[in-house]
Amino acid sequence: MPALITWWTLDVADLAPGAHSDAVRAVGEDLLRRLGEEHRRYHTARHVVEMFWALEDLEHAGVLTARESALARVAAWFHDAVYDTTTSGAENEVDSATLAVRDLTALGFATEDVETVRDLVLSTHDHDLTGTPLAGAFHDADLWILSSPPGRYDEYTLQVRAEYAAVPDDVFRAARASILRPFLDRETIYATGFARESWEDAARANLAVELGLLSG
């Protein structure tokens, strides 16, 4: 995806203007390679692009500044950079955050920005609604898919199931339901006012349909 690499290059140029172009390209190409791994179906470059679109909406709504959006896009690149469906707990998030710290430090990102990206990546494990406004916007962009049009949502659920094809159906159904149900049980799925107004109703409708299918 040449356009995606261009976006990466521009964001790094804004946030770490001293980064060498060869190093920037090498890190970007490694991230794209990771997103294209054979076992991935949903956690691919397409998911990153959809996050970018959601972040753009949040920026246009005044939830994020342009610089915050750039940081969030960098975090989006890294948040699923390590994705192993056989691990449990927060191993993927921790390993992805470690990769982000290594690569961004090498590119010359400011320590504060490296820490921000690291924290955003780690936050995707619990999807907690508490945190900074930037963390809330990042959370919402990552979960935009829950509010996607029904056709895209159906495709998403099939992609997630394909990533866990080795898991028996009854085990997958129970595990998937245990992940989704808490989103419906809490007061709001999304952290920002914009997302609650624009995406909440659709997300709840999609989740209700999927949980019905899982329990059936």
pTM: 0.96
Question: Which among 194, 201, 202, 196 has a CA at the least distance from the CA of 60?
Answer: 194
Ranges of H-type helices in 61-130: 66-78, 91-107, 111-123
pLDDT of 126 reads 87
Q: What angle do CA 46, 48, 38 make, to 5 degrees?
A: 55
User: Taking the domains of the chain in order of start, what are their residue ranges?
Assistant: 2-215
Q: How confident is the model at residue 3 (pLDDT cuts 50, 70, 90)?
A: confident
Query: What is the structure's pLDDT at 136?
Result: 97
b/e per residue 10-36 (b: at least 16 CB within 10 A):
ebbeebbeebeeeebeebbeebbebbe
Confidence grade of residue 1 (pLDDT, cut at 50, 70, 90): low
pLDDT, tens digit, 9 for 90 and up, residues 134-154: 999 999 999 999 999 999 999
77-104 residue pLDDT tens = 999 999 999 988 889 999 999 999 999 9
Euclidean distance between CA atoms 106 and 25, whole angstroms: 13
Closest CA to 11 of 44, 61, 52: 52
Fold of 2-215: Catalytic domain of cyclic nucleotide phosphodiesterase 4b2b (1.10.1300)
